[in-house]
Chain A
Amino acid sequence: MLRFIVRRTLQLIPTLGGLSILLFAWLQRLPGGPEYALLPDDATEEQREALRRALGLDEPFTVQYLAFLRRIAQGDLGVSLQTGRPVLTEFLTRFPATFELSVTAMLIAVSAGIPLGYLAARRRGSALDFAAVGGSLLGICTPVFFLAFILKAVFAETLGWLPSAFRLSPGLTRTDITGFVLLDAVMTREWDVLWDGFVHLILPGLALASIPLAVIVRMTRASVLEVLGEDYVRTADAKGLYRRTVRTRHVMRNAMLPVVTAVGLLTGSLFAGAVLTESVFAFPGIGSFVYSATQERDYPALTGFILLIATMYVFINLLVDISYSLLDPRVRAQ
């Protein structure tokens, strides 16, 4: 088991290396470098050339790439051209909000999607099954920002049940320890902050959960249907085991294997995909920052954010593989 984890972790090195090369090459190829963004439109070609030289942009590709790697290794992701602050700082102040939002969305998707998918499979052809399959198709087809607007209009603006924007109500003070609102609130026992933060997560969390929820319902349904037809489920029934033992130990343990993989991949994509939801709910995560960085050609910020998000994605994949090997002994054997 330990060998599997070590080997799988070592495989991250080429993945991350390739990732950094691709990212760097892609950035080099983009038209309109920072010399256009930083200097006024009427700057001369000489001024632009001088700035390029000052930023080291005239060096050969490999030299620039190695310098890039060296800086990353030192934790230096450069300075954001928009704000003048280090990219890493910008990321760390915004990421906790996105993380909490993504995890909330994933919890909603998993806790509703798996039981729903199971019931749909068990009652195949019933009204519930049609509703689950049809609803998940609708969930996949509906653009997230559209759903976000509807949720906001109905539950925040019309009914007034839930807040329509921000991460906390204005005027609420909180003690900041880690940057994670809910975590800090628990640590400092600021229960009003915990509740307020939670309430602010519900609507954006629901909007963001729609696609993962739809995917999880469908995958669970298909997977459970397949497992229900397996001989070992018949064996379990032939042993006279209680229904719930058959369900948890024999059906779900096997049916969850593909779903675990999907959950991992979906979580990774939520970190990057929260941009639209965050902007609808004015949620202070990385989404809005990435959006403006694109507009402003803030390349250091873009490079840094993409690199950090991609790295996280890779590590989530590692976690998925490790949990998969814990769930399925056949993977360990190879």
Chain B
Amino acid sequence: MSSSTPLLSVDELSVVFRRRGADETRAVDGVSFTLEEGRVTGLVGESGCGKSVTSLALMGLLPDRGVSVGGSAVLRLPDGDVDLLALSQKRMRDLRGSRLAMIFQDPLSSLNPVVPIGRQVTEILTRHRGLSGGRARREAADLLYRVGIPDPTRRLREYPHQLSGGMRQRALIAMAVACRPRLMIADEPTTALDVTIQAQILELLRDLVVEEGTALLMITHDLGVVAGLCDDINVLYAGRAVERAPRSRLFADPTHPYTVGLLGSIPRLDAPRGEALTPVRGSVNDNIAWADGCAFAPRCDHYATACLQGPPALVPTEDGGDHVHRCVNPRADAEAADEEPGGAAEDEEERA
């Protein structure tokens, strides 16, 4: 990591949903990370771990009522630092689209079906850059061309349903980069796309980050995406980061049992034929409150009594430096490679 001040420092972000007549839900429970210009940071975890809520909180897109957001997210702007979580709605509207941009998961439902693509691109240019008429249209065509949409002037007149899935996501990316934001958040941008298109979109995002020096927060459950794109990776579990490391370190030497489990559940081409995949058993609902101990303990094959004595802290791993994890009984490499056969058999029963 560079020693300069980061573009965005998220500190102890928490999001609590309160609904009348129901217990409050801690979707995000003290997550901290930093984003640097020109780098891609991954936020990885399974459904329900709080990764999407984190992104919506940073964008100020959570509903007004029934949600309380804590912590801080300080963004460095030319005219001074601002805390995104403390800004007024009006100020956030000024920043969204111009300084911060977001790319969503499902490109078809994320585009307005009854407004031409061109209008959906030019409206952001009009709002933040004051362009209108022919100038806005020319700029919009340039943007579409830049994100790899052929024949952009024709596409501007078309509607979302006339575009292919990959082109729709490219159009959304064009809208996100229209005002050269310093920070982009991509929430599972490739989940709804074909595998070949996925690779193209990831490559496009990578190019944009490199060319513009944008900071990209990549939210995904797909470790393949993480491996190909992210420089730094945060693994989230039940609203807290459980492990953080640069990409190469995380893949070479995962220490938290959850990370090990995630990596173990990826199908591998070089695995012997017929070898079963090893999913992480149970689901994200089988957890205990962080206040009582490690939330992952009920699903962990490696837990000890120490795991249930109070909340584990985020501590440096043995290899130290910028590799940290939240585990009191980390898993040695030898054990990680040698899965217990008992555990695997149990998983198969569960899936049957």
Residues of chain A whose beta carbon lies under 8 Å from any beta carbon of chain B: 230-232, 234-243, 245, 249-250, 253-254, 257, 327-330, 333
Nearest A residue to B105 via CB reads: A231
Interface membership of chain B positions 291-310, coded 1 if the CB is closer than 8 angstroms to chain A and 0 otherwise: 00000000000000000000
* Contact assessment for B127 and A249 in the assembled complex, using a CB-CB cutoff below 8 Å: no
What is the bound-complex CA distance between A243 and B114, given in angstroms?
A: 18
Size category of the B interface is 20 to 34
> How many angstroms between the C-alpha atoms of A327 and B159 in the bound complex?
12
Question: In the complex the two chains form, is B104's CB within 8 Å of A231's CB?
Answer: yes
In this complex, what residue of A is CB-closest to B106? A231
Residue in contact with A231 in the complex, picked from B97, B110, B124, CB distance below 8 Å:
B110
Is A329 a contact partner of B96 (Cβ separation < 8 A)?
Answer: no
Separation in Å of the A1 CB from the closest CB of chain B? 13
Q: Known contacts A230-B109, A250-B115, A254-B112; is A235 also within 8 Å of B123 by CB? A: no
Task: Check: B180 CB closer than 8 A to any chain A CB.
Answer: no
Q: B199 contacts the other chain (Cβ, under 8 Å)? A: no
B162 near A: Cβ within 8 Å?
yes
Is there an interface contact between A238 and B97, defined as CB atoms closer than 8 Å? yes
Would you call B161 and A329 a contact (CB within 8 A)?
yes
Q: B113 at interface (Cβ–Cβ under 8 A)?
A: yes
What is the minimal beta-carbon distance from B122 to any residue of chain A, in angstroms? 11
Closest beta carbon of chain A to B270's beta carbon, Å: 39
16 contacts between A and B (CB under 8 A): A231-B109, A231-B110, A232-B112, A235-B104, A235-B112, A237-B61, A237-B93, A239-B97, A239-B101, A239-B127, A240-B124, A240-B127, A241-B93, A328-B113, A329-B159, A333-B161
Q: Measuring CB to CB, which residues of chain B are less than 8 angstroms from any residue of chain A? A: 59, 61, 92-98, 101-102, 104, 106, 109-115, 119, 123-124, 127-128, 159, 161-162, 172, 175
Contact A238 B127 (CB under 8 A): no
Q: State whether A250 touches B112 (Cβ < 8 A).
A: yes
B20 to chain A, nearest CB (A): 10
The residues of A that contact B104 with a CB separation of less than 8 Å are 231, 234-235, 238
Chain A residues contacting B98 (CB-CB under 8 Å) are: 240
Check B161–A232 contact: CB distance below 8 A: no
Taken together as a complex, chains A and B put the C-alpha atoms of A254 and B109 apart, in Å, by 13
Q: Which residues of B contact A329 (CB under 8 A)?
A: 113-114, 159, 161
Known: A231-B106, A249-B115. A239 touches B96 (CB 8 A): yes
- Complex CA–CA separation, A280 to B155 (angstroms): 57
Complex alpha-carbon distance, A236 and B59, angstroms: 12
In the complex the two chains form, what is the Cα distance from A236 to B115 in whole Å? 12
Are B96 and A237 in contact (CB-based, < 8 A)?
yes
Given A240-B94, A333-B162, is A253 in contact with B115 using a C-beta cutoff of 8 Å?
yes
List chain A residues, Cβ under 8 A from B127: 239-242, 245
